[in-house]
Homo-oligomer: A and B are copies of this chain.
Amino acid sequence: MREDTRTRIQEVALRLFTEQGYEATSLREIAEELGVTKAALYYHFKTKDDIVASLVDLRVAEIEELVEWARTRPRTPETRRSLLERYAANLARPSHLEVTRFLERNQTALRAHPKLIKMREAMLALTAELSEPGATPVERISRSLALVALHAGKWMTAQDGLTEDEIAKASMEVARRLVDM
C-alpha cells in the first residue's frame, strides 16, 4: 500500500534539501521525482518554507521536552551527564539525525524562518541548562561544545578508518569530558 502524497513530498524534499541545499533544490525537481506537477505540491503545502516547517516541528518539540525535563532537576554534574545521554539517544533516531543535519547545513538559507528561530532558542535553552549560574566562561564554552561534539560524531561517520561504533563511543566520551570540565 502506497504512502500518501504528503508524506512522499516530505521524504523527497528532506533528501534533496540535505544533498543539494534548500535554495538549490527547486519545487519542479521534487515534483518531477514524484511524477506530479509543481502546482500539486501547493495543494499539500502553502509554500516551500512550509515543507521545511513540517519537517522541523517534531524535532523542536522533542528538544523543548528535553529542556523541560532538565528544568525539573538541579544543575549538577549528574544532570549534565544524563542530559547528554538523552540528547544522544534522541539524535540516534534516523529521522531526527536527517533533520538535524539538514538544519545545520542550511542555517543561513533558513535564517528568518520562525520554526528555525524556535529551534535555535530551544538549543540555546538546552545549552543554558548545562551550566550552573556561577559557571566560568571556560566552563560555559566547553559545555556548549559538548552538544557540538555529539553532532560532529555523527557527521564524521566512515572517515579516518574508524567504525561507526568507535566514533559514537569516542564522541560521547569527549562530550562527557567537556561537560565535566
Contact = CB atoms under 8 A, between A and B. Distances in A.
A66 to B, nearest CB: 20
A156 B170 contact: no
Please classify how large the interface on chain A is, using the bins under 10, 10 to 19, 20 to 34, 35 or more.
35 or more
Interface string A147-166: 01100110010001010001
Interface string A125-160: 000000000001110111011001100110010001
A8 to B, nearest CB: 22
B145 A166 contact: no
A48 to B, nearest CB: 12
A169 interface: yes
Interface of A: 18, 20-24, 105-109, 111, 136-138, 140-142, 144-145, 148-149, 152-153, 156, 160, 162, 166-167, 169-171, 173-174, 177, 181
